[in-house]
């Protein structure tokens, strides 16, 4: 049975950007983390994807499985040559905390989507 949180996250590709949306109170078991990682990995391996935008509304510190999925996703992105990650959160401190946990990628932190999109252009 999937976690409720698994049904709420979303990974999609929009105009060369892999968009990862993580809602508040998201928790994942190991299988859910594998599914999230797989979705990120598939998104960053698509032709034309050159950045990742992670929208976080999660509690910090990150749940262990969620942390693992994001770190593995960042490593997969770096392997594909995608090292530009924009982390967007309502509170920049929370987004910054998430950004610090992503190895091998260059992160920029934004408090709102509009600022992140402006930077992406």
Class of domain 5-120: alpha beta
Q: What is the pLDDT of residues 59-70, one digit of tens each?
A: 666 778 888 898
pTM of the predicted model as reported, rounded to 2 decimal places: 0.82
3-state secondary structure of 38: helix
Q: What is the pLDDT of residues 93-116, one digit of tens each?
A: 777 877 887 877 888 887 777 776
**C-alpha–C-alpha distance, residues 76 and 26, integer Å:** 22
């Amino acid at each position: 049975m999937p976690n409720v949180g698994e049904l709420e996250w979303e990974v999609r590709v929009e105009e060369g950007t892999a968009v990862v949306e993580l809602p508040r109170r998201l928790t994942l078991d190991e299988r859910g983390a594998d599914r999230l990682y797989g979705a990120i990995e598939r998104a960053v391996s698509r032709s034309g994807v050159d950045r990742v935008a992670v929208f976080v509304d999660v509690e910090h510190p990150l749940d262990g499985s969620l942390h693992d999925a994001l770190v593995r996703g960042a490593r997969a992105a770096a392997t594909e040559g995608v090292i530009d990650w924009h982390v967007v959160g309502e509170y920049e401190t929370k987004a910054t905390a998430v950004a610090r946990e992503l190895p091998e990628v260059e992160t920029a932190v934004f408090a709102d989507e509009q600022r992140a999109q402006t930077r992406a252009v």
